[in-house]
Each structure stands twice: as C-alpha cells, then as structure tokens.
Amino acid sequence: MNRRHLLAATAAGLATPLVLRAQSLGAGFPDRPIRLIVPWPPGGSTDTIARLYQSRLAELLGKPVIIDNRGGASGATGAIEASRAPGDGSTWLFVYDTQATNETVMRLPFRTGEAFVPCCHVASGPLAMVAHNSTPYRSFEEVVAAARAQPDALNYATSGVGGLAHVSTTLLQQQGNFRIVHVPYRGGGPAVQDAVAGHVPLFMTNVVIVSQHIRAGTLRPLGVTTRGETRHVPNTRSFAQQGFGDFEAPTWWALLGRAGTPPALVNQMNEALVRALNEPAIKERIEAQGCDVVASNPEECGRFINAEIAKWGRVITDNNIRADS
C-alpha cells in the first residue's frame, strides 16, 4: 500500500466511528424527514431557539429536521396538530411556557401528560417588562403609579392569551392593585415588531426576542421575573425587588414527543439534542439571546413540566385568571 492509500485508509478508519455514531442516533426513526412543530410564527423565541439547534440535530440524527411553524391560540394550534400525529418518532413538538398555562386557561382537546411524552427541558430564562424609549417609564414602579392614577389607560403586549407573560402580569396587577390593558398577539414575532415601532407602550416578554433591542436602547427594561437581578438583563431590578414580595416566573422551552413514541427513540432524540445544546458554539449562541441552556433528560423534563402545570394552574384558578382577562 502506497502512502496515499495508507492516508486514505487511516482517514476512513478515523471517520467511521463518527459516521456510525451519527447513524445509530437516528436508527429506528421512520424513513422520512423529522417534523419539528414550532407552535408559533417565525421570529419568536421558540422559532429562534429551534433554528439555532436544528441543523446540528439533523447531523447527529443523520436525518433532515424540518421546522413546521403552526402559530395560533398561544401555542395551542400547533400543539393540537402535534397531538394528532402518529407516535412513531416522525413528529416532535417544541413548546414554550404556554404549554403549562394553556392546560388551565383554555379548553383543549388533550391533556399534555396524556398526549405527549417529555424529551428535554431545553432552556429557561427571565421574562421582562420593557417600554418603548419614547415613554417616560424608567421602572415598573412608575408604571404602577401611572396605572393607579389612570386605570386601564396603559396597554401592554404579550405573545398571546394565556401564556406565562399574560398570567404573570395579571398576577402582578392583582397583587399591586392596578390595571393595565392586555393586547395579545399571535406570537412574539408580531408583538416585538409593534413594540419596537412604539405602537404599544409596554411589552411583557421573554428576553430572547428583545435582547438586541434592549442593547440598542429602543426598548427599556423595567423589571424581570427572576427572584433577583439576572445577567441577561443587566442593571434591571426584579419585580420582587420592586415591592412584589417573592414574585418569580421564569419562562422556559422544552421538546415533547407524541404519546406512544418508543422510549428508545425518545432517548435517542434526547441524546442527540443534549449533545447539540452542549456544543460550545450552539450553547453560546442560544444563551446570548437571553436564556440559559438546561439540556435535561426526559425524566427531569417530565417532572419540571408537571410541576409548572400544577403551580400555574393553582395561580390561574385561585386568581380567576381567564383567557379573556
């Protein structure tokens, strides 16, 4: 064997384990592209994060991963679509925190614990109330004072009815005895466009879709839903620090499979996704958006989502928070 053939054989030998490993992660999945339903329009946080790991996930599985945006009803439209898919590993649902709150706020044709299997708690992060820089508000305390002086005169946007941004802001109003008017959008993408344009003065949102606008000075952060200050929104006090006791409402994203998906495929998907999320380049890009990668296993993901459904279900019921509130 000459030197060229020897080098080629050595390179092939070194590459083979990586190729086999990639093939083994996708073994057993249906012989067609994997459909990743994102139940929000393009441009929102869920879509943004999904697209940051999409290509690497496809490489690790050895199969195309196609994002299918199905926005509407605060994530419920896409979740209903996913709940009707076969449980063969061909369809997955990348959810936002509304997956937990919708369970109580809305009448749905499914229960999350029955229609889906947990795969991975992908990331968590703060919600923030931001104001357009044309408004006079420098803190959430100033918003509260203005709202008490003129109830229902101020509008605030969210990505949709019944989401954690909506529910948590409703809870803040009830705890602080003030009223502002909810303006729900069909996703974070459309909402942030109007917030940046100044069409709505206040916007309660995850930080992922507004971080660049905060840095640019177009949107001014007034408060965050973490217990204390967060590195993702520097020099911004939490609502708890502004007189709202122990208020805390972090947002999150998770991957779910259809009920009936073989456990082996759930574990393979989890392994591939966790590997992708923990690769430094991908992790850095996701966290630069304004959240922290969690990359949990399926069991941890299931416990987390069940706890969120129970926690916010109690808040929604105890405070009579409705989809039209």
CATH of the domain at 74: 3.40.190.150
Separation of alpha carbons 302 and 166, rounded Å: 24
Pair of tokens at residue 104: 């109580």
- Measured between alpha carbons, how far is 108 from 111 in angstroms, rounded to an integer? 7
- Max mean pLDDT among 6-20, 81-95, 177-191 falls in 81-95
pLDDT at 18 over 60: no
Q: What is the mean pLDDT of the chain?
A: 91
Model pLDDT, residue 27 = 83
What is the pLDDT, as a whole number, of residue 3? 41
pLDDT for the residue 49:
97
Query: Could you tell me where the DSSP H helices lie in 62-137?
Result: 76-83, 98-105, 112-115
Instruction: Give residue 320's pLDDT.
Output: 81
Q: Do 7 and 108 have their domain in common?
A: yes
* pLDDT tens figures, 226-246: 999 999 999 999 999 999 999
Percent of the chain exceeding pLDDT 90 equals: 85
Q: What CATH number does residue 159 fall under?
A: 3.40.190.10
In a domain, 325, yes or no: no
Q: Is residue 323 part of a domain?
A: no
110 lies in the same domain as 152: no
Number of domains observed in the structure of the chain: 2
- On whether both 118 and 138 belong to a single domain, the answer is no
pLDDT of residue 318: 87
Domain-located, residue 305:
yes
Would you state the pLDDT for residue 8? 42
Residue-level pLDDT at 25:
80
Query: What confidence tens digit (pLDDT) does each residue in 266-287 have?
Result: 999 999 999 999 999 999 999 9
User: Residue 151 phi/psi, 5° resolution?
Assistant: -60, 140
Q: For 64-73, 81-90, 183-192, which range has the lowest pLDDT when averaged over its residues? A: 183-192
Domain identity same for 217 and 68: no
229 and 138 both lie in a single domain: yes
Give pLDDT tens digits for 279-310: 999 999 999 999 999 999 999 999 999 999 99
Residues 104 and 192 in one domain: no
Greater confidence (99 vs 23) lies with 99
Domain-embedded: residue 213 = yes
Q: Are 226 and 302 members of one domain?
A: no
Range of the domain at 192: 127-242
Report CA-CA distances (Å) from 172 to 45, 175, 251. Answer: 23, 5, 16
Q: Determine, yes or no, domain membership for 53.
A: yes
